[in-house]
Structure 1
Amino acid sequence: MTEHVEVTGHGTHHVVPDLVIVRARVQCDATEVAAALDQASSRTAAALQAAADHGVEARDRRTDDVGIHPRHDQHGQSVVGYTAYQALHLTVRDPNRVGALLQALAGAAGDALAVDGVEMGAEPSPSALEAAREAAFGDARARASQYATLAGASLGAVLTIREGGLEDSHPRPMMSRAADAFAGSMPVEGGTHAVSTSVTVRWELA
């Protein structure tokens, strides 16, 4: 069997953010399962229509998750109702429209709306992704060279390359009851957005 070394490298390329990601959810309480689901469905539809009316294109509107769970009394014994929810993921390509969008969502869904995160982002362009790949490969090669030196060998031909997934950031929670105040004149700004990836490379040892 050919001697080899396998190393995972990580690479990041920074780009200027050009869009905003809004992560929200609609959450409704009712005494019956069907009623909770119906309310969540209708309020979600209203929120999605409000997003469409405020310029969020169909490709940028999606639902991420849906579920229902029981609510219990203060003693945790008897079921007193049910909570149904549905998550929304909205991509806003004009950051100046985020404030008006949040106000529209709150108006459409009312107190059923919760905003889980508002963050700057950028679509990974082919050039940005290629730059991140090159950085990841360079990181992997540097690590592999160190291991090869310790083993008294040198790197030979590349045997395999396997790319990992793009890294994503997680939003910080914010309750929607303050959406109107938050949306008033909110400037959503960001310095740079990181496009990151990883590659696992196997080299032959010579």
Structure 2
Amino acid sequence: MSEHVEVTGHGAHHVVPDLVILRARVQCEARDVASALTESSNRTAAALQAAADHGVEGPDRRTEDVGIHPRHDTEGRKVVGYTAYQAFRLTIRDTSRVGDVLQALAGAAGDALGVDGIEMTAEQTPEAVEASRQAAFEDAHARATQYARLAGVTLGPVLMIREGVPETGTPRPMFARSADALAGSMPVEAGTRAITSTVTVRWGLA
């Protein structure tokens, strides 16, 4: 194999988050399995309909997990009932509507509603991903050029490029108020979010 240098570069492209991901669940208790599942299903359907009524489109409403487990007496011996739950995820594209959507969910599901998490995110557009890849390539090229200079050689043609999977970094900050502030709009601070890429490049040496 001809002489070469292989370098891994890392790049990031920062974007302003423009979406809110709300993860919630409906949890219901009953004496038998069928009743618990039915109540959980009905309240979940009502919550999702409330989200739809507040502008959350069909593709942005997604159920994620369903389960049921028995409840025991204080001694842990006898089954006294069952708890059923259904989790769902909403993508809220108008960040000013977060508080209104939460309030609608609470009104539809009542005390059965639980909020597992609220976070800001951004769509990985092709332009943003390409920008992070280009930054990673430039980082690799700068490193390779430095190594070649120290070795007294010149970079030749690119022989191989291997790309990692773009990832989205953690947003900061998330919210200006706690998720339990249900009334009215909930202000959201966008901060920045980094879409990162890793690229390994092999150059020939002249």
Could you tell me which residue of structure 2 aligns to residue 121 of structure 1?
121
TM-score (ref. length: structure 1): 0.77
- Mapping of residues 14-163 of structure 1, within 5 Å: 14-142=14-142, 157-163=158-164
**Superposition RMSD in Å:** 3.2
Quick one: structure 1 residues 52 and 155, their matched pair in 2 at CA, closer, same or farther if it must change by over 3 Å?
Answer: same
Shift of 1:79: 3.2
Task: Give the letter for the 1:63 counterpart.
Answer: T
CA deviations 1:147-201 (Å, max 9, x no partner) are 778999876524232331423549xxxxxxx74x44444212222232x233342
Gaps of 5+ in 1: 171-177
Quick one: structure 1 residues 204 and 22, their matched pair in 2 at CA, closer, same or farther if it must change by over 3 Å?
Answer: same
Contact 1:23 1:116 in 2 (8 A): yes
Bigger CA drift: 110-119 or 136-145? Answer: 136-145
Task: Give the letter for the 1:39 counterpart.
Answer: E
Task: Give the letter for the 1:161 counterpart.
Answer: R
Shift of 1:58: 0.9
Quick one: structure 1 residues 130 and 71, their matched pair in 2 at CA, closer, same or farther if it must change by over 3 Å?
Answer: same
TM-score (ref. length: structure 2): 0.77
Percentage identity across paired residues of the two chains? 66
| 1:96 aligned counterpart, secondary structure | helix
Count how many residue pairs are aligned between Structure 1 and Structure 2: 199
Could you tell me which residue of structure 2 aligns to residue 201 of structure 1?
200
Shift of 1:2: 6.1
Look at both structures and tell me which one has the larger radius of gyration over its CA atoms: 2
Contact 1:2 1:204 in 2 (8 A): no
Q: Distance in 1 between matches of 2:124 and 2:133?
A: 12
Could you tell me which residue of structure 1 aligns to residue 175 of structure 2?
none
Shift of 1:143: 5.5
Quick one: structure 1 residues 161 and 110, their matched pair in 2 at CA, closer, same or farther if it must change by over 3 Å?
Answer: same
